Structure 1
Amino acid sequence: MKYTQLGRTGLKVSRLTLGTMNFGPFTNEPDSHTLMDTALGAGVNYFDTANVYGQTAGKGRTEEIIGTWFAQGGERRDKVVLATKVYGNMTPDGGTTWPNHDRLSALNIRRAVDASLKRLQTDYIDIYQFHHIDRNTPLDEIWQAIDVLVQQGKILYAGSSNFPGYKIAQANEIARQRGSYGLVSEQCLYNLAVRDAEMEVIPASQDYGVGVIPWSPLHGGLLGGVLKKAGEGSRSTGGRAAAELAKPEVRTQVQAYEDLVDKHGLEPGEVALAWLLTRPGVTAPIVGPRTAGQLESALRAVDLELSQELLDALDEIFPGPGPSPESFAW
């Protein structure tokens, strides 16, 4: 495994982030534990989750599965850089939504972090992330709450997710005024098919020393060889991939992509991940395996070297928007 610094911090993280959103609703606890053991054994030390993950298995279930894995010992917790998130409402499905059980008020941040620590069976979180911007809570209040948690030793760093470029700048400028450390990571939607982050999110992150952690690197399976698998009858297309493939222009792009990758004797999903690892500002894409085979494929991508010829061809199929403001101005 290869490692890099997380943004401007001294923290070293693996070039892949193990996403755990499937743990609970799609991957049972024993299999989830096996996947985490395999990832850690391969050198993946960056694990990402969120307090709301669990879906049909119940909100918080994913954190509970990670907690029972930590409880097995063997230096599991010490070796992992653990990231979780706060924002979503944690009221059980079908229950009454109380007004202060979501978003980023100081009250909810305090409540949420203690609940996550209990589920995760740990006494600290390495990176505590805001899952979304909160337009109704002042950033001064958010940083005040974060500073208290840092002083208490409950968290070490703060990160963001789904923040636009101007909010990354605003959050870090207000943190600077307070003498707070500010954001160290940003999780954003970024892959070959969706490159909007290149306009402002990634440049802002680079300017502020914020590590970029792309989520959905295969765009819901669209970049994972979906047409080939469907043709072989090995997988039915559903969800985001099916919706996107219903657009003729997208199907044409994906077919051109799969043909190109096949010409080079490579696997589509591995190329999509390897491409992200060549992008400026990117620290570690999030991979969310449901099976051991999916994890093994992601691990191979770390060592995959893409030729300039292939990189240029990928840009022709999936052209980026270009930097801001040139992308929308003269």
Structure 2
Amino acid sequence: MDYVRLGTTGLKVSKICLGMMSYGDPGWRDWVLSEADSLPFIESAAEAGITFFDTADMYSLGVSEEVTGRLLKEVFSRREEYVVATKVRFPLGEGPNDGGLSRGHIMDAVDASLRRLDLDHIDLYQIHRFDPETPIEETMQALDDLVRAGKVRYLGASSMAAWQFAKAQHVAVMNGWTPFVTMQNHYNLLYREEEREMLPQCADMGVGVLPWSPLARGVLARPPADTSTTRSRSDQFTPHLFGSDEEAAILDEVGRVAEAHGVSRAQVALAWLLHQPTVTAPIVGATKLAHLEDAVAAADLVLEEQELEALGAPYQPRPTLGHE
């Protein structure tokens, strides 16, 4: 496993980040694994050299953070050996102040996340989308206070409009506050609208890119019309996000390249992402050990320039997704 700097910071992370959304409370989503069933994935990830783990307070309504904290302590011998990222914004309760990016909610949420993770600091604390109801100055000052208090080491953002991200960064810099060092956005072979503004902006600012849904909710990992997985059968959003004629051509090309290399479709789709100059580490979910093995292997898969061009050629612009 290769290790890369997180944006332009001095912190190094593995080129593959293991998404912890799949581990927590099976009652929250049909495809989520229990803590006992999750342990082999953390063990395998550590053995493969993965040191970067991403969760959120809203995954399994907090249980994912609890499981993440316990399993990482069980698998790694020292805190310095792994990097933990989590997120804040989505509500975990019914009250009017149980969500959002107000100072009050951020301060409450970070302490709750630290308790669930059983850690004294979070390596990368990310806002889980933009909050249009809270002044960005309030959000950025609160996040800066967390860094100054030692509760958080670095700050990250996730899917939003490029102008919103630029505004947040400007507010931080103008006030001497801590800016974001990462952008966790929706980016894969089937969704490339981030290439218009967000990715060039991240490159200009030295911001690391951590794509979520790198396999397009699994669509890129299987032949068209294959709905054999638990998530593909139960995911109500996939039919609304994917399925155009252009996507079918991309999937065909993924299959062709995979066959030429003798590897899985997932490896090809992840390798394409890792060849993109702005990408630091895609966030990969795994509910079968083969998923994790594919992700690790993708980090070593070299695609020729003509293959990269062929994979990208069928793409057609589409409406923006994933900012909500």
The TM-score with structure 1 as length reference comes to 0.87
Written as runs of structure 1 = structure 2, the 5 A alignment for 1:178-257 is 178-227=175-224, 237-238=232-233, 239=235, 240-242=237-239, 247-257=244-254
1:297 maps onto 2:303 in alignment: no
Q: Which moved more, 1:162-171 or 1:10-19?
A: 162-171
1:249 Cα deviation from its structure 2 partner: 4.5
Corresponding letter in the other structure for 1:207: D
**Which among 129, 154, 159 is matched to residue 157 of structure 1?**
154
- Structure 2, unaligned stretches of length 5 or more? 27-31, 319-324
Partner of 2:169: 172
Written as runs of structure 1 = structure 2, the 5 A alignment for 1:246-285 is 247-285=244-282
Backbone CA RMSD of aligned residues = 2.2
Separation of aligned partners in 2, 1:210 and 1:181: 13
Corresponding letter in the other structure for 2:80: D
Separation of aligned partners in 1, 2:127 and 2:206: 17
Contact 2:3 2:14 in 1 (8 A): yes
Written as runs of structure 1 = structure 2, the 5 A alignment for 1:27-66 is 27-54=33-60, 59-66=61-68
Partner of 1:120: 117
The 1:306/1:74 distance shift into structure 2, 3 A limit, reads closer
Separation of aligned partners in 2, 1:245 and 1:285: 20
1:226 Cα deviation from its structure 2 partner: 3.0
Contact 1:229 1:235 in 2 (8 A): no
- Structure 1, unaligned stretches of length 5 or more? 92-96, 322-330
Separation of aligned partners in 2, 1:247 and 1:215: 21
The TM-score with structure 2 as length reference comes to 0.89
1:136 maps onto 2:133 in alignment: yes
Separation of aligned partners in 2, 1:306 and 1:153: 42
Corresponding letter in the other structure for 1:67: G
Secondary structure at the counterpart of residue 22 of structure 2:
coil
Identity percentage of aligned residues: 40
1:3 maps onto 2:3 in alignment: yes
Contact 1:70 1:121 in 2 (8 A): no
Contact 2:89 2:100 in 1 (8 A): yes
Larger Cα-atom Rg: 1
Corresponding letter in the other structure for 1:41: E
Secondary structure at the counterpart of residue 149 of structure 1:
helix
1:222 Cα deviation from its structure 2 partner: 1.1
Partner of 2:74: 72
The 1:41/1:31 distance shift into structure 2, 3 A limit, reads same
Secondary structure at the counterpart of residue 18 of structure 1:
strand
Separation of aligned partners in 1, 2:138 and 2:39: 37
Q: Spell out, residue by residue over 1:54-93, the C-alpha distance to the aligned partner (whole angstroms, 9 max, x if none).
A: 1xxxx001001012224437425321111000000011xx
| Equivalent residues, number | 310
Partner of 2:13: 13
